[in-house]
């Protein structure tokens, strides 16, 4: 074919492929496949327990936290987050931990919890990962999450804006910068800049499509996009930091 990328669309080899390529996918199918082939199995699954003087790991096969890389003293981390309402049958609250040096996804928390309690989850994650920079989305329910983190005195919240009367914390998604952050994630996927390990993220990337009826992008009917938004925030924050030139960053 003159365009091999269309092969799966014209000659799908499975029901899954037929379903996925039937919509207008935002992210490159081949790039997602490369990520899936290189993804690691979690080293640890469970939850974090705040024991006041330390953070303990509590193993549980059904726990909301998956860890692919434990914190290293010589590394810094970004914790990006998409905040949901917390209903058991609703969207998920998601937090991704990304290594600033390698852009690898080293941990992910995904579950149902109130925005207020999600702040404690993020605080524990940040403390465990060397007091990493926490960048929660502050749209809607995220305002409560970010506010609680600030009130609790978390020392390394993402600063969106500096004002004379003080700083403004958290990541705010607008119609304009949503396109920019999704494009940044798409570019990172194609260039293999970011390293994804979560199967939940990989599945949601496949079902993240252009929504013709609303001139927008989001999950197909019956799917979620919480992990996509969380990762897009993390990649955008890493892009702002520009600590490691893309030409020299180690790729997987």
Whether the predicted pLDDT of 145 surpasses 90 = yes
CB 53 within 8 A of CB 212: no
pLDDT over 60 (residue 24): yes
pLDDT tens-digit profile of 162-207?
A: 887 888 999 999 988 999 999 999 999 999 999 999 999 999 999 9
Q: What is the tens place of the pLDDT at every residue in 232-245?
A: 999 999 998 866 54
Looking at residue 241, what is its pLDDT?
A: 84
From residue 18, alpha-carbon distances to 11, 26, 73, 167 in Å are 8, 16, 45, 48
Q: Which of 201, 200, 199 is nearest to 185 (CA)?
A: 201
CA dist., res. 107 & res. 126, Å (int): 11
Map tokens 């897009």 to a residue: 232
CA–CA distance, 166 with 169 (Å, rounded to integer) = 10
The model's pTM: 0.88
pLDDT at 252: 47
State what percent of residues in the chain have pLDDT above 90. Answer: 73
Question: Residue 60 is encoded by which pair of tokens?
Answer: 């549980």
């Amino acid at each position: 074919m003159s365009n091999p990328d269309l092969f799966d669309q014209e000659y799908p080899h499975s029901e899954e492929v037929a379903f996925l390529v039937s919509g207008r996918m935002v992210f490159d199918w081949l790039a997602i496949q490369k990520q899936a082939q290189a993804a690691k199995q979690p080293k640890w699954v469970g939850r974090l327990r705040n024991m006041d003087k330390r953070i303990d790991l509590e193993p549980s096969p059904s726990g909301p936290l998956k860890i692919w890389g434990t914190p290293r003293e010589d590394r810094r981390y970004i914790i990006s987050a998409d905040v949901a309402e917390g209903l058991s049958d609703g969207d998920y609250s998601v937090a991704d931990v990304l290594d600033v040096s390698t852009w690898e996804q080293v941990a992910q928390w995904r579950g149902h919890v109130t925005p207020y309690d999600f702040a404690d989850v993020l605080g524990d994650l940040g403390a465990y990962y060397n007091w990493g920079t926490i960048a929660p989305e502050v749209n809607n329910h995220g305002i409560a999450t970010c506010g609680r983190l600030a009130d609790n005195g978390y020392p390394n919240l993402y600063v969106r804006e500096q004002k004379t009367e003080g700083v403004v914390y958290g990541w705010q998604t607008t119609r304009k910068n949503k396109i920019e952050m999704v494009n940044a994630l798409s570019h990172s996927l194609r260039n293999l800049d970011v390293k994804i390990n979560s199967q939940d993220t990989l599945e949601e990337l496949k079902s993240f499509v252009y929504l013709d009826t609303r001139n927008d992008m989001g999950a197909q009917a019956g799917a979620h996009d919480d992990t996509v938004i969380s990762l897009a925030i993390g990649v955008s924050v890493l892009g702002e930091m520009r600590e490691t030139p893309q030409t020299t960053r180690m790729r997987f």
